[in-house]
Amino acid sequence: MPQKHKVSLIPGDGIGPEVTLATQKIIDATGVNIEWEICEAGAKVFKKGLGTGVPRETVDSIIRNKVALKGPLETPVGFGEKSANVTLRKMFDTYGNIRPISEFAGINTPYSGRGIDIVIVRENVEDLYAGIEHMQSPGVAQCLKLISRKGCEKIIRLAFEFARSEGRKMVHCATKANIMKATEGLMKRTFEEIAKEYPDIESHHIIVDNCAHQMVKKPEQFDVIVTTNMNGDILSDLGSALIGGLGFAPGANIGDQFSIFEAVHGSAPKYAGKNVINPTAVLLSGVMMLRHLGEFEAAKLIDNALLTTLAADKVLTRDIVGDTGAASTTQYTDAIIGNLGKMYSEYKDRNYHPIKMPHIRQDQDFVRVSKRGVNGIDLFIETDKPVVQFAKELELAAANSTMKLKMISSRGVRVYPAEQGATPDLTDSFSCRFVSKEIHTDVKDADIIHLLQKVEPHVRWSHIEKLNEFDGVAGYSKSHGED
Ligand code: NAD
């Protein structure tokens, strides 16, 4: 008897039910023993008034089964605050989003024949997608980009382990570390350290904008690319366009305990119920799920049946051939089922192995230091007064404080003391850097509270950031023009 698996199946919204049904039929036809537990999430759930879009029964099903296959979910305008997709990723801590981008025989693109075979390993729970946003003033918005050393270690180790599981030989890390030295730089530094533990795999850092450029110019040079959440989102959509579009871009959300498999694409509402869309992306997500479940033979059967259908039989959906001669979703599904058991001559067998999930220390204080201090604060304020006027007021307000005003910046550019050159176009939001009057003297919380009380009559303040120093290294950036 084949091993029995239980999988939570979320059909989802728009084209979701069609693509997940096609996938379920093809997987079942391979003979693997899967009991599918059908679960709700997305638009219908939001409309019933549940703000998360994910009902308790669905959460319980995934907790029980540990594995889910999911169609795309919509966040209908006017219902719910957060995306149900992001909620699921966070709720099940699926910190790694693996997105393969490979050329398919039979799908003609400007890149055909170049052998594109890239996997983007995207960090899935941190970065700007934590969605921590605040209005600094009525006209200035802020989004917090949180990156942790622990999160970096997890995703980078996962990328290397994934590369090993597929016999891949090279990992690039794509960041914007040249600009965001603390956040993106943490990813780069962690990558460079951890890469040394994987001497069998070539490793390179690449600036993310150059990575996008190189992916268009010479995509075949890449193997695995590990990157932060937003970079990965953009690079993987770019990548899918190189190989025939979103209809061919699968994905897996992987965590220590739970895995959710889903396509990169969304619910494409205008094609819903028309039996015209391409189910390949969700099918290939299902193939990734089969490998995750250890069903390597069934995965290989589907890969070969798919390639035979595309390249030998030339059965293609509307997104590839347009209206004339296109196979419907159901005809395409039946053709793949009919080809199960046929091997495609150019199939590249990767000798897949299960991914060895990295074990990372669970400690909350993942990075410990022996010495720490606070050199001052950045005080974020709102005012429409001229800079020199409120700067003088703040200097006077700080006269009896342990801190002095060092400088004021507007969106990262120093405006006081004034820089030479063009005056930046100002908003009503400023960051005022106060530092300790005595070098090497720690600023205490009581000093900060005292300063805030003195400042309050002159400007509105929205928040402060402490200027932390850890083991003698400043934990904050300098503004453009700051010495
Ligand atoms: P989309 O991916 O749904 O569709 C964009 C276009 O891509 C479609 O109009 C269609 O031309 C093409 N396309 C996508 N999937 C296809 C397929 N399987 N076969 C053929 N063509 C396909 O993107 P969108 O229109 O920006 O988003 C629609 C909804 O989906 C939104 O509510 C969005 O929030 C949601 N969404 C969900 C997910 C997810 O569940 N993971 C991801 C992205 C978007």
Å from CA of 319 to ligand 1 middle = 13
For residue range 108-132, list pLDDT tens digits in order: 999 999 999 999 999 999 999 888 9
CATH assignment of 372-474, among 2.40.50.100, 3.30.70.1570, 3.30.465.10, 3.30.565.10: 3.30.70.1570
Taking 90 as the threshold, does the pLDDT of residue 76 lie above it?
A: no
The CA 428 to ligand 1 mean position distance, Å, reads 38
Q: Tell me the pLDDT tens digit for each residue of 299-330.
A: 999 999 999 999 999 999 999 999 889 999 99
- Atom 6 (ligand 1) nearest CA: 268
Distance 383 CA to ligand 1 centre (A): 42
Residue with CA closest to ligand 1 atom 39: 72
Is 293 a residue whose pLDDT tops 80?
A: yes
pLDDT at 351: 84
Superfamily of domain 108-243: Isopropylmalate Dehydrogenase (3.40.718.10)
Protein residues with CB under 6 Å of any ligand 1 atom: 15, 19, 72-75, 85, 246-247, 262, 265-268, 270, 277-278, 281, 319
Mean pLDDT of 338-352: 92
> What is the reported pLDDT for 80?
59
Distance 19 CA to ligand 1 centre (A): 12
Start-end ranges of CATH 3.40.718.10 in the chain?
A: 1-93+268-368, 108-243
Q: Whose Cα sits closest to atom 23 in ligand 1?
A: 266
Q: What is the pLDDT of residues 46-75, one digit of tens each?
A: 988 888 899 999 999 999 999 999 999 997
CATH number of 1-93+268-368: 3.40.718.10
Which residues are known catalytic residues?
129, 176, 209, 233
Secondary structure in 3-state letters for the chain: CCCEEEEEEECCCCCHHHHHHHHHHHHHHCCCEEEEEECCCCHHHHHCCCCCCCCHHHHHHHHHHCEEEECCCCCCCCCCCCCHHHHHHHHCCCCEEEEEEECCCCCCCCCCCCCCEEEEEEECCCEHHHCCEEEEECCEEEECCECCHHHHHHHHHHHHHHHHHCCCCEEEEEECCCCCCCHHHHHHHHHHHHHHHCCCCEEEEEEHHHHHHHHHHCHHHCCEEEECHHHHHHHHHHHHHHCCCHHHCCCEEECCCCEEEECCCCCCHHHCCCCCCCCHHHHHHHHHHHHHCCCHHHHHHHHHHHHHHHHHCCCCEHHHHCCCCCECHHHHHHHHHHCCCCCCCCCCCCCCCCCCCCCCCCCCCCCCCCCEEEEEEEEEEECCCCHHHHHHHHHHHCCCCCEEEEEEEECCEEEECCCCCCCCCCCCEEEEEEEECCCCCCCCHHHHHHHHHHHCCCCEEEEEEEEEEECCEECCCCCECCC
Residues of the chain with CATH 3.30.70.1570: 372-474
